[in-house]
Amino acid sequence: MPSPSDPLLQQTIDRFWETIPPVWRAVRSHVRSVARKNFEITVEQFHILRHIQRGKGCLRDLADAQGISRPAISQAVDILVHKGMITRTQSASDRRYVQLELTGNGASLLDAIFGQTRQWMAEQLASLSPEELQVVTRAMGVLRTTFAASID
């Protein structure tokens, strides 16, 4: 195992910082652009839909995930309910608890955004050889395993 001062380890860390953040910014920028231009939803609305899709189904969870107040998240949710993207159901046993779920339209919208982004990513990666794609795939697997305790 290399020591923290190992030159190869330091070079790997430098390459990581030169690569991963800019690539992620490009992908995020594309997702945001598609959401805004093609589907007329804001970045905040996109994130709310994505969080609900991932199982954050109440206002408290959404507010925590977004780092904003419950009244602010409630207003954003109201807009998405009005647009027909999510449903809001109040618990019969606890009126303070509101369950949020994607509608078919909300799920379809996310599928379309991610579908367009996957197509864009395929276009970006199409110039790589099969061997290069395998190297990238293996490297991402190694990174995911290495950082597994810190992910999600």
pTM above 0.85? no
> What's the CATH class of domain 7-127?
mainly alpha
Q: What are the contacts of 93-102 at 24+ separation with CB within 8 A?
A: 97/58, 98/58, 98/59, 99/57, 99/58, 100/52, 100/57, 100/58, 100/59, 100/62, 101/52, 101/57, 102/49, 102/52, 102/53
pLDDT means per 10 residues in the chain (152 residues)? 85 94 93 90 89 89 87 90 92 81 95 94 96 96 90 65
Sorted by where each begins, the domain ranges of the chain are 7-127
Closest CA to 110 of 38, 60, 61, 57: 38
Output the pLDDT for position 152.
Answer: 58
| DSSP conformation letters of 133-144 | HHHHHHHHHHHH
Q: What is the DSSP letter of 128?
A: S
**Amino acid in the structure at residue 74:** S
Output the pLDDT for position 119.
Answer: 97
Distances (CA, A) of 140 to 16, 35, 145: 11, 26, 9
Closest CA to 49 of 111, 117, 136, 127: 111
